Amino acid sequence: MTRYRRDPAEEITASRARLATRLGTKDLRWVVSPYRICPLGAHIDHQGGPVLGMAITGHTLLAFRESGDGTCRFLSENYPGEVGFDINDSNFESWPEASPPWNSYAVGASVLIREKISGRARGVEVCSLGFLPGSGLSSSASVTLGYITALAAVNGVKLEDRERVVLAQRVENEWAEVACGILDPASIVGSRRDHLLSIDTEKLSWETLASADSTPGFRILVAYTGLPRNLAETGFNSRVQECGRAARDIARRAGLEGVARLGDLPADVLERELGGCEPVLEKRARHFHEERWRVHQGIDAWQLGDLERFGELMSDSCRSSRENFETGSPELVKLNEIMVGCEGVYGARFSGAGFGGSAIGLVAEGMAESAQAAIETKFIREYPGLAGKFRCYLVDSDDGLRLA
């Protein structure tokens, strides 16, 4: 079993020497950029729907220093390869396009930060280290925000939290070609330990929500199937396009103009016109309509300390993700089924886009380790070929992005 410690401070301390050796100096600055979970609000942030996020004690640690000129150099302890370029080269289209596959995040962050600098920009040397398998936990947004923070720091660029979120989303949209919303970067930037983050994706704003004093102790299960996926190569972008088509179809029939997303439609219009869509589009719109309701119900349950109800909503969200958004590999469906069936687990759902990768669960604190052991045993019994790749972690909520 793998137990991830509550406080990442020990892992940070233990990893400093490793990253310092890689960059060849101890004269470094540090960024802690956590991963995130989304208990409720699956697949609706890109449509302007409300979502709930929470940073966790799995994270990306970045060591960085100014390079002394415009040279940028990005290394990773998790993946091979190196990305290098001059940030002041105006012909950024000549910057790295081939391997390593994570180069788009480094290049995109650098281009967007350079737009905020008058005169010559300072380059940066960065080495990153991720502490959990990131598939479904927004490791891409985590490392991107780390890059943005490091580049801004060496160039004296002051960024508001909202600016960081928008920049990270632009990197995903424009450079990684993933049509995501602000859920991931907002959760990473805005979270506060032991709180839930309520994100208004239309207003690009968020607030932290405390739970009731009577809330029972809980842990967060993160289970990784061992099967990675590249989000841009899954059906994620096509699902986003289908949501847009559903929104425009409903708007046309309702006589509305200026509608691009499902969130642009009045709730009563969306509910009334659902049945008139072609089957695939109806499923996408129905998921949005129901998930928006689940988010509001989840906020109430959280603030009342009703984790049983909150977990039920998580599991129902996963049902809709399977049936209406049509996500989930056989392995991920079985993993979620196993998690929901374990004693002590309040609820569980796919994490991230849900085409592979990970599932998350909310579990009673006193039963967390026994549930973790049962999940590992049952999943490997079903898929013995994944025995060396499957991982199940226990994590906790954490504070958001920060310089350490």
Single out the catalytic residue among 184, 249, 306, 396.
184
Q: Are 297 and 275 in contact (CB under 8 A)?
A: no
71-76 and 124-130 as β-strands: parallel, antiparallel, unpaired? Answer: parallel
How many residues are recorded in the chain?
Answer: 404
**Alpha-carbon span 310 to 367, nearest angstrom:** 17
List all residues 6 or more positions away from 252 whose beta carbon is below 8 Å from its beta carbon: none
Q: Give the Cα separation of 360 and 335 in Å (integer).
A: 10
Residue 268 falls in the annotated catalytic set? no
Assigned token pair, 96: 């790295």
Query: Can you name the residues that pair with 223 across neighbouring β-strands?
Result: 359, 392
CA distance 364 to 345: 6
Residues in a beta bridge with 29: 64
Cis peptide before 100 (omega within 30 of 0): yes
Q: From start to end of 131-261, where are the E strands?
A: 195-200, 205-210, 218-224
Give me the residues paired with residue 75 across strands: 82, 127
Query: Phi and psi dihedrals of 260, rounded to 5?
Result: -120, -25
Q: Distance of alpha carbon 132 from its chain centroid, rounded? A: 13
Q: Active-site residues: which are they? A: 184
